[in-house]
Every structure is written in structure tokens, then in C-alpha cells.
A and B are shown apart, each in its own frame.
Chain A
Amino acid sequence: MKNLFAFALSSLTRRGGKNFFIFTIFALMIFILAGIFTITHALKAEMFATLEALPEITVQRIVAGRQTDIDAERAERIAEIPGVTDAMPRVWGYYYFAKAGVNFSIVGVEAFGTSYKSSLESVADLFGEKLMEGDTMVVGPGVAETLARNFFKDYFYFVKPDGSLKKVTIAGIFKPETTLESNDIVVVEQGLARELFGMSEEAATDIVVKVANDEEIPTIARKIREIYPDTRVVTKEDLRISYQNVFDYKSGIFLALFIIAIFTFFIIIYDKASGLSSEEKREIGILKALGWKIGDILKVKLFEALVISLGAYLLAVTLAVGYVFGLNAPLMRDLFMGYSVLKPPFELPFTLDVGTLALIFFTTVPVYIAATLIPSWKAATLEADEVIR
């Protein structure tokens, strides 16, 4: 066994050119696949980290099929439902900064008040006094950078919906927990947020609801729907499943395309493995005449296929991990992050699970070996007597 393995290794190096070609193409395919899957997985992990911080239930008002402002006072009625710990109106939205072509996420907070999110609460506490002074904001690092690039170092003029300008001073820059989520955030006092969006005093963007016991979430969501039939009630679970589905769908479509590619490759390998040179044929003939069994030659062929496919797999996966987490996946990440220019400077969190590795493995290595199966058998059952004719 060990000797046959050594023979397979030597056989690979002796026919280096042909094998190198296959190895390279195969490694490249695995690399692309591994890149896509690791990015998907990392993004998914990041999304779920974001999701964890989200409130259990979000209540939005829908008019004519579109989301619109909700009456902030509804929060008090919702808070009375048994099982609800807290219900808070939120004021938030996007502000398009035309000059840089990016969107900021403006989030209104109540200084020193409770917030639906601990990170925002700490921001509000930390910069509370400054935010209370009025017309000040705390921004994420991405926003600060974009503004500075446009010569707004200390303040910024927002254009309000009525066209008038509003000067807001930068009170501080905060360090985001997860980069994907808070890089583009602008935190302001709630009143200021309403002013910037042109919303009325009692309006809110949506209402978030905290629930102590997860099991009660569906029941509470149903009750809210009954009280306010014009609302859409989204639970964390709903979001999680739809995120998961979107990601699965994206990588699923990709995989479907990839399968077409791999079948093409299957044919290439099949063809390469079948096309034995006369020298190879003679070699197999010699081996058989010297007492090698069909099984011995099959083993050598299998070892060759294993070395190439496993080698390509290990190399490609290592390279892909370096490419995604070391270099932050240039080019490939654009497939996933098509939107705001501000979003991309995130760093993908390092997540690599056995499942992703297994998925990459099962979609490549067995396919390669399958493609060499019949050619190997053909080679192993060649007539040996030709060498002595």
C-alpha cells in the first residue's frame, strides 16, 4: 500500500505537465467556490450578530402597502400587553449625502433614556450632555471619514425636506461593535432626528417591543396585530429565517451555476484521464506483465486522483481563507455588497465552520474522483500482452 502510494506520487511528478494543468484548474474552481461560501458564511455570521441585538418585535405601520410613520403613543398601549417588558418608539431613517453619493443612517436617541439597544444606550449616555445641547451628533467612523473628505471636520449642513439647511456639530465619533452595522450611523437626539426628517412631534418610524420570554413572542405579535390592524409586526425569528433564506438562495443559485461548471470540468478530467499516451499504456502493460493486479493499478490511479483533488482542495481552501479574511475579498465581496459605498469598508469577521468546509469538500473532491473512475478502470484493464508482442 505504502509502496503503491509512493509509486503514485512519482507517477504524478513524472507526468508533471498534464497533472499540473488539471491541478491548477481544479484548485481555481475550488478557490472560487470556497471564496463565495466563506464570504456568505462570514456575512451571515455578521448579520446574525446584528440580529441578536435587534428587538424581539418590531411594529411598523403600513399605508397603501408602504411603511409609514407610526403614532408614538401606540407604544404605551403595546407596553400594557402582558408579557411585554418595554415598548419604545424609534425615530430613524436614511439621509442621502448626494455629494459623496452615500446614505447615512440617522438614529434618534433620547439622551440618558433607555434605548432598544445597549450600544446606542451607551452612546447616548457617553455623549448625553453634548447631544442635549442640541444640534449635535455622534457619528460612526465611516461617516466621519466621508465628511472629512468633503471638508466637514467639525460640523455638517443637513438639507431638510423643505430645502432649508440645518447645521449640526460633530460631538464625537464612536467605535462600532460590528462594523457592517454601525459604520454609517449618525446618532442624534430624537427631536433633532424628527426635524431632519420633517416628521411631526408625535410620530415615530416604528415601535420596538421587548419580550421577556421568547416563547410568548408569537402570541404577543398576534395581539399587536389585533389591536392595530394597520400594522406589520415583524419578529426577530421572521427576520432570521428570511435572512437565512436570502443567503441560502444566493449561494444556492451560485452553486447551481457552479454545478454546470463542475460538470464541464468533469468532462475535461474524464477526457484527460482517458487519453493515455502510448508511453503510459506501455508502462501499465509492463507493470501487469511484472505481476501487478488490476486492483494494484486501480489503487495507484485512485491515489493519484486523491493526491490531486485533496491537494487542490487544501491549497484552494487555505488561499481562499487568506483572500477573504486577510485581504478582505477584493472583487468577490462586491457580489454581495452591491449597495452603499459607505458599507464596504467592513471587515469580515473570521468565521470558518466545519459545515462550510464539508460543503466545499463534497461539491468538489468526490466529483473529481468520480470523473477518474471509469478512465482508471479502462487503464487498469488494458491488455498487457502488447508489451511482449
Chain B
Amino acid sequence: MIEVKEVTKVFNPGRPNEMTALENVSFEVGENELVILKGPSGSGKSTLLSLIAALQKPTFGEVIVRGERVSKLPEDFAALYRRHTIGFIFQKFNLIPTLSVFENIITPLMPEKLDEKELRARAERVMEEFSIAHKANELAKNLSGGEQQRTAIARALVNDPPIILADEPTANLDAKLSKAFLEYVHRIKEEGKTILIATHDPLFFDLDIADREIELHNGKIVNSED
């Protein structure tokens, strides 16, 4: 499903502030696998996610997703790839605060040629699934933490992407919401999605929900256990 091959990412190469975020990282994620990327902050987890999402390009090496070399895609095609293949759950959720829940959820669909009805139907489906439909017209900035969380997950799934990437999804949540998040992750996995979560929240390891953990340290994989 996802192949990361000898990927190295250097920021500001050749400048005084040169920084190697990832060094010769290789791993694979199979279909419907739930993999956790762990490691302290600054270890390169987020960079790795953005490389898989083709938001950035590796300095060396390549990322292949479902047979496509996404590390080579120019911007527009990278965008299309994200739109159709990746569901993104950001740290702090990154909802657009001045848009309503419904509008936030349909943003990934907006560039598509979909009519109002189809748009609404797709949004309803995920809003129902993550029980946020009753807040559909509420502005995102007025939501509670849990509601923001569910909106963010609904937004990531509205395109029905095969791969879900989550970046520190529980960083700003209390224990109860974190646990709820894990339940949602579980449900998403049941739907057959491939999930990659970057986190250093011990909750994930305590509950042992992952199929596999990959630990990063200073941009290198230190262990990869099944």
C-alpha cells in the first residue's frame, strides 16, 4: 500500500541552517494496516507524514503509494492524489474556524464537479457516522473539543479515501476524548482503511491497538516491531 524507500529529507540544504529531518528511512505499510509512528517531537514523524501526503518531496529516495510514485508528482497531481487517496487528520484538527461544520466537511469536495445534492448526501453520511449532524450549521469556532475532533474525522473521511494519516491527533485532548478517538480509529479500520498515526501519546501503546509501531529518533528508524 505505502512504500517508503530510503527516504532522506534535508531542509535548507547547503545553508547554515541545514537540517536533516529524515535519514535513509525505509518501511512499508500493508493494506488495512494500522501503524503508529512514534518518537519524541522533532524526530521527523510529521515530515514523514507530509512526504507520504506529497505535501513535500524527499531530498533522496522515493515514496510509492498504491504503485504510484507520489514523491515525483508535480503540485497539481499531488493535490489530486491527496484529494482521492489521503484523508488527513491534523494536529489541533485545523478546522477553518469561520466556516460551519457542514462547510468544513465538504471543503475537500469543493473543487470536484459535484452538485449540491451529492455534496449534501456525502456530508450527511459522515456527519451521521460521527454524530455531528446536529451541529451541521454551527461555526467550527463554537464547537467543543470533542465536536471539533469528530468534525475533523468526518472531513478526513468525506472523500472515502483508502488511507488515513493522523498527526498527533490526541495532543490537545483530555483522556476521555483521546479514548473516544481510539474508538473512532478502530471503527475506521473496520471499514478497511489503511491508517498511519504519528503520535507520542502513551495511550496508544497502552491499549495496544496498532498492528505495528515504528519508532523514529533523530530522523532514523530505531525499531520497527510487528
Contacts and interface: CB of A to CB of B under 8 A. Distances in A.
Given A286-B96, A290-B107, A293-B76, A387 B159 contact: no
Interface in B136-188: 155, 159, 167
A296 B78 CA distance: 13
Interface string B198-223: 00000000000000000000000000
A117 B87 CA distance: 83
A10 B94 contact: no
A287 interface: yes
B149 to A, nearest CB: 16
Contacts of B15: none
A289 B55 contact: yes
A389 B91 CA distance: 9
Nearest to A15: B98
Nearest to A299: B111
Contact of A283 (B84, B96, B155): B96
A60 B164 CA distance: 92
B60 to A, nearest CB: 18
A389 B41 CA distance: 10
Nearest to A291: B83
A142 to B, nearest CB: 59
A294 B91 CA distance: 23
A282 interface: yes
A385 interface: yes
B49 A291 contact: no
A295 B76 contact: yes
Given A10-B99, A288-B55, A389-B46, A293 B167 contact: no
A92 to B, nearest CB: 70
A4 interface: yes
B103 A282 contact: no
Contacts of A292: 79, 83, 107, 110-111
Given A14-B98, A293-B111, A294-B75, A3 B83 contact: no
A1 B115 CA distance: 10
B109 interface: yes
A45 interface: no
A4 B109 CA distance: 10
A1 B109 CA distance: 11
B109 A3 contact: yes
**Nearest 8 pairs of A and B residues by beta carbon:** A291-B83, A291-B82, A293-B79, A3-B110, A296-B111, A385-B55, A290-B108, A14-B98
27 contacts: A3-B106, A3-B110, A3-B111, A3-B119, A4-B111, A10-B103, A279-B97, A286-B90, A286-B107, A289-B53, A289-B90, A290-B108, A291-B81, A291-B83, A291-B111, A292-B83, A292-B110, A293-B75, A296-B110, A384-B55, A385-B50, A385-B55, A387-B90, A387-B94, A388-B49, A389-B47, A389-B50
